[in-house]
Structure formats: C-alpha cells, structure tokens
Amino acid sequence: MSKTWTAALLIIGDEILSGRTQDKNVAQIGKWLNLQGIRLSEVRIVPDVLERIVEAVNALRAGNNYLFTTGGIGPTHDDITVDAVAAALDVPVVEHPEARAMLEGYYAKIGKELTPSRLRMARVPKGADLIPNPVSGAPGIVVENIYMMAGIPHITAGMIEGLSGTLEGGRPLVSVTVGAFAPESEVFELLIAIEKAHEGTQLGSYPFFKEGKVGANFVVRAEDEGLAAAAAKALASGLSELGYEPTPGGL
Amino acid sequence: MSKTWTAALLIIGDEILSGRTQDKNVAQIGKWLNLQGIRLSEVRIVPDVLERIVEAVNALRAGNNYLFTTGGIGPTHDDITVDAVAAALDVPVVEHPEARAMLEGYYAKIGKELTPSRLRMARVPKGADLIPNPVSGAPGIVVENIYMMAGIPHITAGMIEGLSGTLEGGRPLVSVTVGAFAPESEVFELLIAIEKAHEGTQLGSYPFFKEGKVGANFVVRAEDEGLAAAAAKALASGLSELGYEPTPGGL
C-alpha cells in the first residue's frame, strides 16, 4: 500500500464556536484535499486565545504532513494566528517586504490608506513565504508545514485554488457510491464482508429517508480506482441477493 | 466574575472530514449551549477510528464541564462511539434494558424486525443513562460528563431540545450587535479601547461586503446584559465620532 499523506485543519474563531457563523471550510478543504491525494485526518476549532491556538498548532503539525489554519489573519485585534504560529515555532514575527508591497498595491488600487492595522497583515513568522490571495489584498502565509489561510470561505477558496497541485500527496482517494432503499441495519453484515474482502477500501453508509422509505447511500473509498469499482460491484451484487435494488451513483 | 462553564464537542465521522457531508452540529450545538449558560470551548472532528476517538474523548472530557459527541451511535459496523467511550472510561459495554425496550417498542410500532445490528443501539458504557430521542427510536447516552448524541442534525436537535434546562451552567452569554459600513481595519483601535473599558466583554468583528461597500458587524458578548448594552452604546458613539453611522442590531 502506498504512503498515506495526511493533513489537519485548525479553525480559529469565536464566531464559529458561538454558532454565529456556519463553518464551510471543513467541507471545502476536505474535498479539495481528496483531490490532492491528501486525507484530512482531524479538525480542531479553537477560540481566539493565544495559548489555545499555540497548543493546537503544536499538537496538529507534529502528527500530520500538513497543517492548514483558517481565520485570524485579518487586521483586527483578535487576529492573532501569526503571533500564535510564531510562538509555536519559537521564531519572531517580522514584516514580510513582499506582503507589504502587495498591501500597498492593493490599497492604492482601491484608493484607501494603508493604515497601521491593515499593515498588520504583512506580519509573518520569520522564514515564511506567502500564499497569493486573488480575492482581497492580504496574502496567506506558509511556514514549515503550516499553511495559514483566511477564514472567509470565498477567500479561502481562492487561496486553496492557487495551491492546487503544489503539495506533495499520494494518489487521490476515489469514491464510488451505490444507493439502495435498504435500511442500513439490514445490510450491516454485508458491508463488513465487502470491506474485508477488498483490502484497502473503506466503506461508509449514509442513511436517508425519502419517497416515504428508508435507505442509504453506500460509499466505497480507495486509492485504487479499480479496487473501488470492484468493491462497489460486489456490494451491488450483495444488495441484489438480499432483495434490494442497487442504484449505481447513489440515490 | 462568575464561574465559566465550558463544553467541548467531538464530532465523529469520516463523512465530515471527506467533505461529503456538510456539518451543521457545531453551529446548532454552539447556539444551544449559549442559551444554557455554557460556552463551547473547543470542537474536534475525528475519523471512525477507535484509538483516535478514545484519545479525543480523554483529552476533551478532562478540560471541560461537559463533553458532547455526535455521530457513530447507529447500527452499522463503523458506529463505534459507545465502544470508544467505554474504552476511554475503562468500563465494559453492556446492554441497557430500557434502551432495548425503547427499540423493541419503536420497531414493533413501525412493523420492522429488531435485528442484531439494530440491537447494537441498546449497547452503552456500563453505568450510563439514556437521552430520549423523540425523532427515531434509538436513544442518546450519558455517562459521567459525556453526552453521546446522534449525528444527523434533526435527530441531534431533538436530543438537545430534551436536555434543555437540565444541565448546570452559568448565566447565558448575551450578545449585542452593532453594524456599520466601516472597514474593520479603520476601527481597530476603537475596538480595543471599548473592550478594555468594559471588563467582562468580548468584542468580535465580522467583515462583509454588501451594497458595493465594505463594512462589519461588531458583536459584544458578555454574561451581563447591562454590561453588553453599555459596551455596545459606547461602540456606537465611537463609530459616530469616526464618521461611520452605527446600525443597532447589525447590517
């Protein structure tokens, strides 16, 4: 079996924990990582408290190939992600000349002043490089294996789009879905048998209730497309034998 | 200052990490906890892997008054939350007679058989009590300070609704919002000054771009309603002095 590449995601922000803002970055980044051949192995959401961010950064960067953070890189007083990552790495915070130039260009273009608080967005942990931000002026930041990105989902999207294909990963995880109006509790043994018979696959079942009936979508995931297809085929046969009509692609 | 009650939330499920399913429980449970006077202090999302769940359960239950889990209490082979919590607490898994009776009643009512895999949903860590499930048959489970709930958001909603008012907490956190078409980077110093002048408040700023203009909603949070209102009033005055029209309630 090939090496598995993993990433963790650290979401920084009181507004997510309080329920004020609905997170969209877990799903967005999880899907994007699948395409990079990297598995999202853990997510943590912590408040805008320096020690809590430092602790999570250190726990997550050690156990994974990559750590992504979202949130806390804006201009305001509760934007402390750069300080926290610098503290975690035990390096000073410095102004990045290229980031400053980007901000100068951006604010000149939109006819606004580059105030001291906006200039905070040029601060990086020493040794860092920048992640371009095609949406708004302030760049993301990469240092060691830590990628610091904006928290606002469409700005995050611009940053990950730019990173596509630049990260070393394994083979993308392929998924094949088979749906059926079969209560998942009735096909339990079948799922175990299929997973056992196809080493390297993971099988998930996602129950639903529609058209007045219960059923589930069964998702086979594997790095090998042929393996995923074979397991899905075996699953479809097994469902038929139990009297449930399988629907390739899911219901 | 009164005691702060905190809770952590552990979300269990490959489907959230892969991006297949959009999480809704963080926001739903975060908001509900605010009303109970309990602050959501951390969220972790981990895959359906026993050791990873055990590790997270032990890390989170120790540092918080309450730990909530969602997901992994259904009938299928990847539903291992009960086993993981039992392992974390070092107690055996037992069948709960009342849970079994609930399942028998539920499946009799809908005219289905109580199969061995469905009966898995009567398994609990020894010493546990049940959390009623008004939506589908299988109950949630509470043991020590750990509340295990379903992952499907409307079922989770039914369970937390039933728990409302039963958990010891502090004073609910009150929030007051003031919006303005003010770039957050221009009111940075004002926010710091307001927070400093009103001890016990937290100030968040949530930028937006609408009607062709940038602005932000500024949210004051405090346990004391009068304190939050006073800080919001001071903030509105400060915004006016800087030339921005404040909008109570937010934009």
pLDDT of residue A1: 44
Radius of gyration of chain B (CA): 22
pLDDT of residue A168: 86
Mutate to test the interface with A, among B12, B17, B176 (most CBs of A within 10 A): B17
Task: Pick the more confident residue, A186 or B146.
Answer: B146
The structural domains of chain B, with segments of one domain joined by +, span 5-163, 174-248
Q: Which CATH class is domain A5-163?
A: alpha beta
Instruction: Order the strands of the A213-222 sheet from edge to edge.
Output: A202-210, A213-222, A174-180, A247-248
Determine contact, residues A55/A61, Cβ cutoff 8 Å: no
Q: Is the pLDDT of residue B207 over 80?
A: no
Q: Residue B9 has what DSSP assignment? A: E
CB atoms within 10 A of CB B226: 9
Determine contact, residues A239/A188, Cβ cutoff 8 Å: no
pLDDT in tens, A39-72: 999 999 999 999 999 999 999 999 999 999 999 9
**Of A28, A45, A47, which is closest to B26 when you measure between CB atoms?**
A45
CB spacing of A175 vs B112 below 8 angstroms: no
Question: Which of A130-144, A203-217, B1-15 has the least mean pLDDT?
Answer: A203-217
**Of B26, B45, B207, which is closest to A16 when you measure between CB atoms?**
B26
pLDDT band at residue A226 under the 50/70/90 scheme: very high
Q: Is the pLDDT of residue B43 over 60?
A: yes
Contact list, B76 vs chain A (CB under 8 Å):
184-185, 188, 191, 205
**Of A14, A24, A115, which is closest to B202 when you measure between CB atoms?**
A14
Interchain contact B249–A (C-beta under 8 A): no
CB spacing of B28 vs A41 below 8 angstroms: no
Distance of CA B130 to the CA centre of its chain: 19
Residues A31, A36, A39, CA angle at the centre, nearest 5°? 65
Q: What percent of chain B has pLDDT over 90?
A: 67
pLDDT in tens, B82-107: 999 999 999 999 999 999 999 999 99
Residue window 123-142, chain B: list those with CB within 8 Å of chain A.
Answer: none
Q: Is the pLDDT of residue B202 over 90?
A: no
Mutate to test the interface with A, among B70, B119, B188 (most CBs of A within 10 A): B188
pLDDT band at residue B204 under the 50/70/90 scheme: confident
pLDDT of residue B1: 44
Determine contact, residues B133/B54, Cβ cutoff 8 Å: no
pLDDT of residue A2: 57
A13, closest residue in chain B (CA to CA):
B204
- What's the mean pLDDT in A103-116? 91
Q: How far apart are CA A241 and CA B63, in angstroms?
A: 49
- What's the mean pLDDT in B145-171? 91
Q: What percent of chain B has pLDDT over 70?
A: 99
pLDDT in tens, B101-134: 999 999 999 898 999 989 999 999 999 999 999 8
CA distances from B108 to A211, A212, B41, B114 (A): 22, 18, 41, 8
Q: What burial class does residue A108 get, using C-beta atoms within 10 Å of its C-beta: 0-12 exposed, 13-18 middle, 19+ buried? A: exposed
Q: How far apart are CA B42 and CA A9, in angstroms?
A: 13
pLDDT of residue B2: 57
Contact list, A76 vs chain B (CB under 8 Å):
184-185, 188, 191, 205
Q: Which run of H or of E encompasses B68?
A: strand B66-70
What integer best gives the mean pLDDT of chain B? 92
- Bridge partners of B12? B46
pLDDT of residue A208: 79
Mutate to test the interface with A, among B28, B31, B34, B45 (most CBs of A within 10 A): B45
Residue window 47-106, chain A: list those with CB within 8 Å of chain B.
Answer: 47, 52, 74-78
CA of B203 to nearest chain A CA: how many angstroms apart? Answer: 8
Fold assignment, B174-248? Alpha-Beta Plaits (3.30.70)
Size of interface A-B (CB pairs under 8 A): 170
